[in-house]
Structure 1
Amino acid sequence: MGKPTGFMEFDRLSEASLPVADRLANYNEFVLHLTDDQAKTQGARCMDCGVPFCTSGCPVNNIIPDWNDLVFRGNWRAALDVLHSTNNFPEFTGRLCPAPCEAACTLNINNDAVGIKSIEHAIIDKGWENGWVVPQVPAQKTGKKVAVVGSGPAGMACAQQLARAGHDVTVFEKNSRIGGLMRYGIPDFKMEKSHIDRRVAQMEAEGVTFKTSTFIGSECEAGVNNMAVATISPEALLAQFDAVVLSGGAETPRDLPVPGRELSGIYNAMQFLPQQNRVNAGDVLPEQLRATGKHVVVIGGGDTGSDCVGTSNRHGALSVTQIEVMPRAPEQENKPLTWPNWPLKLRTSSSHEEGCNRDWAIATKEFVGSNGKLEKIRAVRVEWQAGKMIEIASSEFELKADLVFLAMGFVSPVQKVLEAFGVEKDARGNIKANTDDYRTSVERVFTAGDMRRGQSLIVWAIREGRQCARSVDEFLMGSSVLPR
């Protein structure tokens, strides 16, 4: 512990953000990482606990007290090495992770948690700025070939680990760019895609081959996002590679089948968000779905809904309303009851701060419109009793809506891929596999990330990708030096 009394002397300092008016004018990132001195002070707040609950709260088990201390002492290069020892892509998690490590921080019991995420963000940004993030080319090749299907964080982490073990790795992505849902589902103002691009360049230098616009499975007749793709069958893939890893995202959205669902103006969030990312990347979309001058209602209170809010505001929506079927969470969690677990509490995102009407405990009854076009939503207020939703009598009301975005989560991965491989599925429609070896029911086929565990966090995807890589390496070589 660099400063034993640091947690008593220094307050938590959150990262600064650009003013709302400035950030609404573009799609650039607006969160500013800590200065060296600020990061040092925040690192001093870490108590170097005998039992570091932050580490166990982190899905990749980041060795947080160590790099907090190294930052406090100004040893940034060593801090980066410690950070990279458990996390392939801290620039992703340092921007996008909700930080369960901070919820588990011992200081969080009766004080403000250590700003772990902000320190991680500062470490990796300094690493890139100083040229410390370089390719790790294997000393020798194994001659084994591995195919990774899906280029999100699970697929990228798995591919990088396997390449560093000396295997020839090819990553297949059905879209025209690498990154999966991380590229197309996360708005640029939360994470600019240049961060993905430079990791791809690093991985290519390490020997990873990326093949885009390639669908693995049965024939993909309509293409992907109206773009032509090549199709490779599972049989052909298994004939070319010694092992295959299925690491796609959970892309099947939860729908809302109420009367009027067929009206024009109702879209799943992932019909909306990827389009803006594509335009930002230079694609031309003549019929881009835009919220400009419209009354927007977002149904669903999670991160995806928040992303729809932020994007709609940047389009210049007349109004943005986000509704949620669950009751409003408390402003402050019951720490003695929940610590060190992830707490239930009200979370206000940067997109909410930019302008949004929020309401809770609302169920959508009907979409209403004329001439096939949406005009309003008919809804009712609800309360929850013994886990059951009950409508409140005489509480029906209407919301004006030109556009509705359904952001209620995702139920399963693309079933076409699972069915083409013939893998056994669990009750939720995900691939059935355990976390001991990540093997599917099909010989030489492994799985990791959302395809195995369902919709989850980027940090969980990285963990599963890393652990799956070790299992694949053990399968191919009989043993592995890769960490779990």
Structure 2
Amino acid sequence: MGKITGFLEQERLTPTYEAPESRVKHYKEFLYALSDSDAAKQGSRCMDCGIPFCHNGCPINNIIPDFNDLVYQQDWQAALAVLSLTNNFPEFTGRICPAPCEAACTLNINNDPVGIKSIEHAIIDKGWANGWITPEIPAKKTGKKVAVVGSGPAGLACAQQLARAGHDVTVYEKNSRIGGLLRYGIPDFKLEKWLIDRRMGQMQAEGVTFKTGVAIATGDYPQGCANDAKTVVTADELKKKYDAVVLAIGSETPRDLPAPGRDLKGIHFALEWLIPQNKTNAGDGDNPINAAGKHVVVIGGGDTGSDCVGTANRHGAKSITQFEVMPRPRDVEDKSVTSVWPYWPMKMRTSSSHDEGVERDWSVNTKAFIGKNGKIEKLQCVRIEFVGGKMVEAEGSEFDVKADLVLLAMGFVHPAQAVLDAFGVDKDARNNANALTVGDTAYHSNVDKVFVAGDVRRGQSLVVWAIKEGRQAAYEVDKTLMGSSNLPW
């Protein structure tokens, strides 16, 4: 702890953004990272707690007080070394993680938490800029071959760890480019895709082979799911060719809203729009859905809904309305309630996309989609109240909302069933892959040599959780193949 009184002297500093009126004209990132001096001031606020609860909040257990102090001391290379011990991809989490570590910060009890996310962002960007991040090539090869199915954050983290352990790793991806929903689900203005390509270059130098446009099973994939597969490799072929197979296929089946009129034209799952937009930005075709001049309604108040709002603003929508079925949260968390900290608090969250323009509303349920000539024209809605823990309609609260384009952004319910069925992997009650508990972790499936990790196992979650799961699955695979493992997890 370099400055004992830092948290008393320095206020929280947050990155600034390009003005909304100019950033909606492009799809580039618009966040201005902290300067070295501001990052140092932010690092000085870390209290070096006796029990650093930020570790509890961070799924990958980043060693946060250490790299905070090193940034305060301006020892950036050492800070990068500490950060890289636990996180394979800080350039992803430093941009798109909601930072549960900050919610768990001890300073958050009665003050603003340390800006851990912005410090992480600054460290990793400086590391790349100075050439400190290089391939970590294993001293010797094991002769073992591992297939990783899926190239999202769980699959990439798993593949990189296994390659560094000396295994020959091949990543299979059904799309034409690597990254999973990092590439196709998250808009470019939140995560530019050259960041993924740069990591791919490092991983290829470390020995990872990428095969794109390859599906592992025929059958129905979720509606709206990106799928550019031109060839198919069967589950039996993979099990025969590789010593282990890791399924990290994510959770891409979207939650539907089966109200009357759902079949009208102009109603789409969020990814049916976001994926083609990212492909358009990459030069891989045109988005068939255009929001320009339209009244857009986004149903769902989470991150995906926010991404739809930001993209609609860039299309030039005439109006944007976002509905959430749950009540409007408090503007700030109630810090007097000790049952909240250090856990993720329920409070009002306004994203940068919301700042660009949107009408938000809560406690709203869509009863029907109304249209003419087969096209959506409006939504029939009603206010919701919770009585005795049950959702009931508020009497006399019906209202209509004009809509030319409706985007369903209500989360994802389970992974593509075709892949799990092809391997014969058991599923739990939610249709996620059902892993077996072995030791302290649960990444082994019921099928010999087949492991599962990420959203396919735990359900829809955060990128940071996917990285954690990929690392832990890699440890389990390495231990299974070699009898023991030195991989950190």
For normalisation by structure 2, the TM-score amounts to 0.97
Deviation at residue 218 of structure 1 after TM alignment? 3.2
Partner of 1:28: 28
- 2:396 corresponds to which residue? 394
Q: Cα 1:440–1:226, aligned 2, differ >3 Å: closer, same or farther?
A: closer
**8 Å contact from structure 2 (residues 174, 227) kept in 1:** no
> 1:472 aligned to 2:477?
yes
The answer to whether the 8 A contact 1:170-1:209 is kept is yes
- Cα shift readout 1:145-177 (whole Å, capped 9, x = no counterpart): 000000000000000000000000000000000
The match for 1:412 is: 414
**Secondary structure in 2 matching 1:469:** helix
- Candidates 456, 459, 464, aligned match of 2:464: 459
- 2:144–2:243 CA contact under 8 A, matched in 1: yes
Distance 1:301 1:134, change over 3 A: same
From the superposition, tell whether residues 225 and 92 of structure 1 become closer, same or farther in structure 2 (CA, over 3 Å).
Answer: closer
Q: Is this contact kept in 2: 1:220–1:231, CA < 8 A?
A: no
1:385 to partner: Cα distance: 1.7
The equivalences for 1:76-475 within 5 A come to 76-218=76-218, 225=226, 227-285=228-286, 288-335=288-335, 336-433=338-435, 434=437, 436-475=441-480
What is the CA-CA distance between 1:140 and the residue it aligns to? 0.5
Moved over 4 A (4+): 219-226
* CA distance 1:221–1:298, change in 2 (3 Å): closer
Letter in 1 for 2:422: A
**SS of structure 2 residue aligned to 1:338:** coil
Kindly state the Cα deviation for residue 99 of structure 1 after the two structures are TM-superposed: 0.3
Give SS of 2:441's match.
Answer: coil
1:209 CA drift (Å)? 0.1
CA contact (8 A) 1:214 1:231 kept: yes
Structure 2 runs not aligned, ≥5 long: none
| Cα deviation digits, residues 106-164 of structure 1 (max 9, x gap) | 00000000000000000000001101111001110000000000000000000000000
**Alpha-carbon distance in 2 for matches of 1:385, 1:91:** 44
Aligned residues: 483
Letter in 1 for 2:265: S
- Pairing of 1:42-81 with structure 2 (within 5 A): 42-81=42-81
C-alpha offsets along residues 357-397 of structure 1, whole Å, 9 cap, x if unaligned? 00000000000001100000000001112221110111100
Report the Cα offset of residue 61 of structure 1. Answer: 0.2
Secondary structure at the residue paired with 2:11?
coil
Q: Decide whether the 8 Å contact of 2:264 with 2:375 is kept in 1.
A: yes
Q: CA deviation at 1:237?
A: 0.6
CA contact 2:145–2:243 (8 Å) conserved in 1: yes
**Contact between 2:321 and 2:358, CA under 8 Å: does it hold in 1?**
yes
Which shifted more, 386-395 or 301-310?
Answer: 386-395
User: For residues 332 and 235 of structure 1, do their structure 2 counterparts lie closer, same or farther at Cα, with a shift above 3 Å needed?
Assistant: same
How far apart, CA to CA, are the structure 2 residues paired with 1:354 and 1:221?
A: 34
Is the contact made by 1:219 and 1:231 (CA closer than 8 Å) also made in structure 2?
A: no
* In 2, Cα distance between equivalents of 1:226 and 1:249: 13
The one-letter code of the counterpart of 2:330 is: P
Cα distance in 2 for residues equivalent to 1:365 and 1:304: 22
- Report the Cα distance in structure 1 between the residues aligned to 2:96 and 2:226, rounded to whole angstroms: 25
Partner Cα separation in structure 1 for residue 340 and residue 473 of structure 2: 31
Partner SS for 1:83: helix
**Secondary structure at 1:365 match in 2:** strand
Q: 1:172 to 1:372 in 2, by over 3 A?
A: same
Once the two structures are TM-superposed, the CA of residue 226 in structure 1 deviates from its matched residue by: 6.9
Task: Return the TM-score normalized by structure 1.
Answer: 0.98
RMSD of equivalent CA atoms: 1.3
Structure 1 counterpart SS, 2:232: strand
Q: Which shows bigger deviation, 123-132 or 432-441? A: 432-441
| Residues 444-470 of structure 1 deviation map (CA, whole Å, 9 limit, x = unaligned) | 000000000000000000000000000
Query: Matched residue of 2:434: which SS?
Result: coil
Residue 222 to residue 380, structure 1, CA distance change in 2 (3 Å) = closer
| Distance apart, 1:337 and its partner CA | 3.1
**Distance change in 2, residues 1:352/1:177 (3 Å):** same
Q: Give the aligned residue type for 2:43.
A: G
Task: Tell me the secondary structure at the aligned position of residue 383 of structure 1.
Answer: strand
| Aligned partners of 2:364 and 2:384 also within 8 Å | yes
